[in-house]
Structure 1
Amino acid sequence: MSATAAASAGTAGAAGGAARILITGAAGCVGQYTVEHLYRHSDAHLLLLLRDPSKLKVVAANDPRITLLVGDLRDLEPHAEAIASATRVIHTATAWGDPERAQQVNVVAVKRLLALLDPARLEQVIYFSTASILNRDLKLLPEAMAYGTEYIQTKAQCLQDLEVHPLAERIVAVFPTLVFGGRVLPGDPHPTSYLTSGVKEAFPWLWLAKWLRTDSSFHFIHAADIATVCAHLATTPHQPNPEPGQGAVRRLVLGQAPITINQAVATLVRWRRGWVPPVGLDLTPWLIEGLIKLLRIEVNAWDRFSIRQRHFVHKPVSPPERFGLTSYAPTLEAVLETAGVPHRGRLPGTEA
């Protein structure tokens, strides 16, 4: 069935009622921003797959538009009927750390989830991967399978599987770059992303980092902006992949314009009302390698590849503006503002 025919079939299947959007990983950082956005800006019924309902803070669990599917992604059978009722899917759930669990969650469970969907009803699947497995032109990096961690390898494997899946034309694969979200202090209902938590941990080292220079660049994006893009995709008609040079699965790297490591460090220092020296020590590849040996830092094959790669940039990237929308946090300064990072004084749990 073509994507156009699939969209027509899905619309017909949902006729007479609101869309039914299944969101996996609904209690996570990106998951909760997405749930909140869809709840506020659509009339969709939200099917929320999550392991711990007590972590869901952005909507009321007993709201008539909310259905909780409590369980593990590796055991979907108890929710098979609800999954089959979905017209759209936003699959954010993932796993890393343990190789066996990563394989089961990131590969096997994705296949089972797709198998439980009703092709006559389904309009679209938004599948979350990571920009780390793509090169500048959004092609799969050969090194992802060769050197990647269990997380990187399973994400690469799953993308290859999806490209040849019978539902490929209905799949939009999104590849977030570095994700900020939540706040550094308590009080935000959204979970704090690992990167936002890491900003707090970086403060005690700014005195040293500001004297170092490195030729490296990256993209970032706020979880609220990921939610904006995904909600837009999930509430507009699905069409065949419009991206030139891609296959059946549409690939979208979610990120703002690239910035350099040097710019990021300078921004953090200035935000904390510090002084940025005009010169610094260049961290050349040979110097980095020397420091690794001197300090006996453990690095794996993927770490070494990343050090050589240095520039994790992609073209095109897809912030909300690419869809005629407005970013919540388009700059690093905006990220720090929304995260509640103070300009001066200590933060709990830090020494700076």
Structure 2
Amino acid sequence: MTPARILITGASGCVGQYTAAWLLENSDAELLLWLRDPAKLTAISAQHPRVQLLVGDLRDPHCFANQLATVSRVIHTATAWGDPERAHQVNVVAVKTLLGLLNPEVLEQITYFSTASILNRDLQPLPEALAYGTEYIQTKAQCLQDLEHHPLADRIVAVFPTLVFGGRVDGTSPFPTSYLTEGLEEASRWLWLARWLRADASFHFIHAADIACICGHLATTPKLPNREAGQGAVRRLVMGQPSISVNQAIATLCRWRGLRQTPGLPLWGWLIEALIKVLPIEINAWDRFSIKQRHFVHDPITTPERVGGHSHAATLEAVLADSGLPQRGKLHNQG
């Protein structure tokens, strides 16, 4: 059987490199890695016999038209944020152009990366995402809406990562460090204050290695019919570990850093509003919606175990250990 040809966009990013490494180790697929700067490819050898680099901007895909027509699977991780015009060009326009250059007679499946922030608990699109999300949130919501009506919709699996960890805080991992892992040191500096507070909020998280396991499985097995009821033509999978509360996360960080938790002051809605007015904090409409929603949880969620794999970091403690965040004092339960 001819090995699959898998295109990975955003291949130099954290998730892109974890996914490429998983595929090189667990499959015989040929990988086309689309990236802008080969120097950022730190965990994958550009000289690997099953790797071909496509160096260029996602907004100019026609220069790779011949290669795109040969791929059987696509893992589209590339994205943009910050600049509204660039975000629209990359997150909406470039996706449509890319899909138009694929060969329907060869293509089997597309794994399209979005963000769990645009879905509600039941994996349905949030109207608020389009109404007043950031440029990143709005373009992701718009693209998902467009993909539902695309001719290739029945071959698309949209994956929605929750909070993504990966790499190490000191940068010693060959894999890029995710923004959340980069922020662990800074978050630890605020534990002296956070340990006095209690918040009615919860979230999911996932390690990039576990995202790679899920996406690798999707890219190397036959596409299955959508198992989730109430979805459209595009299959939706939210990737994350079981939800934890903000209070549990703070308690875990306190134990990890050797800090004793204290009696907590509940962060009531009125108190949050008062702090926003008093402190030099600028918030937009999406921030206000997020503060009111508080519980960013989804059902069902997809872990590596759901696709027959094993989680690399199933708990926050495992994430912290993997990140290399210095541990101070013993892990022990405190009030």
Report how many residues are paired: 329
**1:233 matches 2:226:** no
Aligned mates of 2:188, 2:240 — CA distance in 1: 24
Whole-angstrom distance in 1 between the partners of 2:22 and 2:61: 25
Cross-structure match for 2:267: 283
Residue of structure 2 aligned with 1:122, choices 85, 107, 112: 107
The equivalent of 2:93 in structure 1 is 108
Q: Distance in 2 between matches of 1:62 and 1:342?
A: 35
Q: Which runs of 5+ in 1 are unaligned?
A: 1-15, 346-352
Q: Distance between the aligned counterparts of 2:114 and 2:162, measured in 1?
A: 10
In the TM superposition, what are the counterparts of 1:253-332 in structure 2 within 5 Å?
A: 253-277=238-262, 279-332=263-316
| Equivalent-residue separation in structure 2 for 1:186 and 1:247 (angstroms) | 41
TM-score, normalised by the number of residues in structure 1 = 0.92
**How far apart in 2 are the matches of 1:127 and 1:38?**
17
5 Å-filtered alignment, 1:132-147, equals: 132-147=117-132
Segment of structure 1 superposing worse, 321-330 or 228-237 = 321-330
Shift of 1:265: 0.6
Q: Is 2:152 aligned against 1:167? A: yes
Q: Report what 2:333 is aligned to.
A: none
Offset at residue 57 of structure 1 (A)? 1.5
1:92 equivalenced with 2:94 (yes/no): no
Q: Secondary structure at the match of 2:131?
A: helix
Matching residue of 2:332 = none
Does structure 2 conserve the Cα–Cα contact (< 8 Å) formed by 1:214 and 1:283? Answer: yes
Within 1, Cα distance between the matches of 2:291 and 2:69?
44
TM-superposed deviation, 1:186: 2.8
- Distance (Å, rounded) in 1 between the aligned partners of 2:226 and 2:94: 25
The CA deviation string for residues 131-173 of structure 1, in whole angstroms up to 9 with x for no partner, is 0000000000000011100000000000000001000000000
Q: Write the distance in 1 (CA, Å) between the matches of 2:285 and 2:259.
A: 36
Select which of 170, 177, 180 maps to 1:192. Answer: 177
**Which residue identity lines up with residue 307 of structure 2 in the other structure?**
F
Q: Which moved more, 1:132-141 or 1:235-244?
A: 235-244
Q: Which amino acid aligns with 1:239?
A: L
Query: Residue 193 of structure 2 corresponds to which residue in structure 1?
Result: 208
The residue identity in structure 2 corresponding to 1:327 is S
CA contact (8 A) 1:170 1:240 kept: no
Distance 1:244 1:282 in 2: 37
Contact 2:171 2:177 in 1 (8 A): no
Report whether the alignment pairs 1:58 with 2:43: yes
User: Could you say which residue in structure 1 is the equivalent of 2:204?
Assistant: 219
Residue in structure 2 matched with residue 9 of structure 1 by the alignment: none
Residue in 2 aligned with 1:4?
none
1:204 positional shift: 1.2
Q: Percent identity?
A: 70
Cα drift, residue 176 of structure 1: 0.2
Structure 1 window deviating more from structure 2 (240-249 vs 69-78): it is 240-249
Offset of 1:236 from its aligned partner? 0.3
**Partner in structure 2 of residue 252 of structure 1:** 237
The 8 Å contact of residues 169 and 241 in structure 1, kept in 2 or not, is answered as: no
- For 2:99 and 2:227, locate their aligned partners in 1 and report how far apart those are by CA, in whole Å: 23
**Alignment partner of 1:234: what SS?**
helix
Aligned to 1:6: none
Give the CA deviation at 1:242: 2.4
Runs of 4+ in 1 over 3 A off after TM superposition: none
Report the counterpart of residue 243 of structure 1 in structure 2. 228
Distance in 2 between residues matched to 1:72 and 1:240, nearest whole Å: 33
CA distance in 1 between counterparts of 2:171 and 2:275 reads 36
1:324, distance to aligned residue in structure 2 (A): 2.2
- Distance across 2 between alignment mates of 1:239 and 1:297: 46
- Secondary structure at the aligned position of 1:158 is classed as helix
Q: Separation in 2 of the partners of 1:185 and 1:60?
A: 22
User: 1:102-151: per-residue Cα shift (whole Å, max 9, x none)?
Assistant: 00000000000000000000000000000000000000000001110000
TM-score by length of 2: 0.97
- SS of the aligned residue for 1:187 comes to coil
Structure 2 counterpart of 1:225, one-letter code: D
Supply the AA of the counterpart residue of 2:183.
G
Provide Cα deviations, 1:1-60, integer angstroms capped at 9, x if missing partner.
xxxxxxxxxxxxxxx521000000000000000000001110000000000001112221
User: Does the CA contact (< 8 Å) of 2:59 and 2:94 recur in 1?
Assistant: yes
Distance of 2:245 and 2:130 partners within structure 1:
27
- What is the one-letter code of the residue matched to 1:323? V
